[in-house]
Amino acid sequence: MRFQHSLRFALAGAVVATGMALAPASAFEPEQPECIAPANPGGGWDFTCRQVGKTMQDLGLIGSTMQVVNLAGGGGGVAFAEVVNKRGDDNDLIVAASTATATRLATGAYPGNTMDQVRWLATIGADYGVIAVAADSEIETLPALLDQIKADPASIAVAGGSAVGGWDHLKVLIAAKAGGIDDFRSVKYIAFDGGGEAVTQLLAGSVQAFSGDISEAKGFVDSGDIKVIAVLAPERLSGDFSKFPTATEQGIEALGANWRGFYAPKGMSDEAYDHWVGQIKALYDSPEWKEVMAANGLEPLDLQGADFEAFVAESVATIKDLTAAITQ
């Protein structure tokens, strides 16, 4: 509960048994389980589909390999429209979602689409936002990055895996506002289809900083390609992530937590919906998934069904308020 309260604060203030897992018995079984990742390979949505699919199969929660389809475009809008318009009654389909999805819905960036056009399944954890630079960058701290933007805005471009106005963009603006930058137009943000592509551009020297999440950044940190200069968390994370400084400890009061979970087609049957909710819950409760969370910087967030739908609705409303406040 402590993290859930922390996550709600981050959203409101920043935008902000052992052995085989057991699930409730169900007559429904997906024949061809499929997960749409609404971005190119390498980002957080891709991570969500692939890690969940692999672990569910390992635990026997699905009877066959989860097919992962990368459907990039529009900060998740292409995938959302595909589900709403073409696959509205597919019982085998789940779609990776996150705070970025709520952000796009809150800002009307999915034209003609709203959150009640799909069914919200469950969460599998949350990661805090990070701001990073290339490992060989002369920038070592978040204040140094913000100072350079103040001094020479054209010299710094920040890449993210969400569209302009999306969650990765908002995280940069949250930090900028906390760091005393009043003119958000001076903050140059470049959108890419997924965090993996954004980091690739950072390493190529096309941009000077990256806004994303811990799970997206970890592999590039482990390989020595990037360095995290700020985690947008109220306190340092545990384990391998404890070495990364928070924005707060650097004097920048910026928080941002990104939940991860799934939605499904609106016309999915109640039986199929209940089955998927139960299987994702069984996954979340398993020791194996706790290991995946620990290895990838995911923090606890355990919401299913109606509770998750209410949480998404709250997130959308909060982000609407934040967006209005920072664009005045």
Listing DSSP states for 43-70 in one string gives SHHHHHHHHHHHHHHHTTSSSSPPEEEE
- Listed in sequence order, the DSSP H helices in the chain are 2-14, 44-58, 77-86, 99-106, 142-151, 167-178, 195-203, 214-222, 270-285, 287-296, 305-326
- Determine the length of the chain: 328
Domain containing residue 175: 129-250
Alpha carbon distance 6, 185 (integer Å):
30
Average of per-residue pLDDT across 210-234: 91
Summarize pLDDT for 91-122 with one digit per residue, the tens: 999 999 999 899 999 989 999 999 999 999 99
Same domain, 26 and 168: no
pTM: 0.75
Q: Is residue 18 exposed (0-12), middle (13-18) or buried (19+ Cβ within 10 Å)?
A: exposed
Count of domains observed in the chain: 2
Same domain, 103 and 133: no
Alpha carbon distance 204, 202 (integer Å):
5
Model confidence band, residue 238 (pLDDT cutoffs 50, 70, 90): confident
Average of per-residue pLDDT across 37-44: 91
Alpha carbon distance 14, 175 (integer Å):
9
Residues 6+ apart with CB under 8 A from 110: 74, 76, 77, 80, 81, 104
Query: For residue 67, what are the CA distances in angstroms to 141, 214, 292, 295?
Result: 40, 25, 20, 23
DSSP H/E element including 259: strand 257-265
Average of per-residue pLDDT across 202-230: 93
Alpha carbon distance 314, 218 (integer Å):
29
Q: Give the pLDDT score at 1.
A: 45
Among 63-72, 262-271, 315-324, which stretch is predicted with the lowest mean pLDDT? 315-324
Q: Give the pLDDT score at 135.
A: 96
Same domain, 67 and 147: no
Same domain, 140 and 219: yes
Q: Give the pLDDT score at 21.
A: 46
Same domain, 237 and 273: no
Strand, coil or helix: 90: coil
Structure tokens at 82: 């595909």
Same domain, 266 and 234: no
Indicate which CATH number applies to the domain containing 240.
3.40.190.10
Q: Give the pLDDT score at 16.
A: 38
Which residue, 216, 250, 284, sits at the end of a domain?
Answer: 250
Average of per-residue pLDDT across 29-56: 95
Average of per-residue pLDDT across 227-247: 90
Q: Give the pLDDT score at 326.
A: 61
The answer to whether 118 and 83 have CB atoms below 8 angstroms apart is yes
The answer to whether 285 and 203 have CB atoms below 8 angstroms apart is no
The answer to whether 221 and 131 have CB atoms below 8 angstroms apart is no
Model confidence band, residue 42 (pLDDT cutoffs 50, 70, 90): confident
Concatenating the DSSP letter of every residue in 147-180 gives HHHHH-GGG-EEEESS-TTSHHHHHHHHHHHHTT
The answer to whether 210 and 217 have CB atoms below 8 angstroms apart is yes
Indicate which CATH number applies to the domain containing 34.
3.40.190.150
Q: Give the pLDDT score at 263.
A: 98
Same domain, 138 and 246: yes
Other beta carbons within 10 angstroms of residue 191's beta carbon come to 17
**pLDDT: which is higher, 322 or 154:** 154
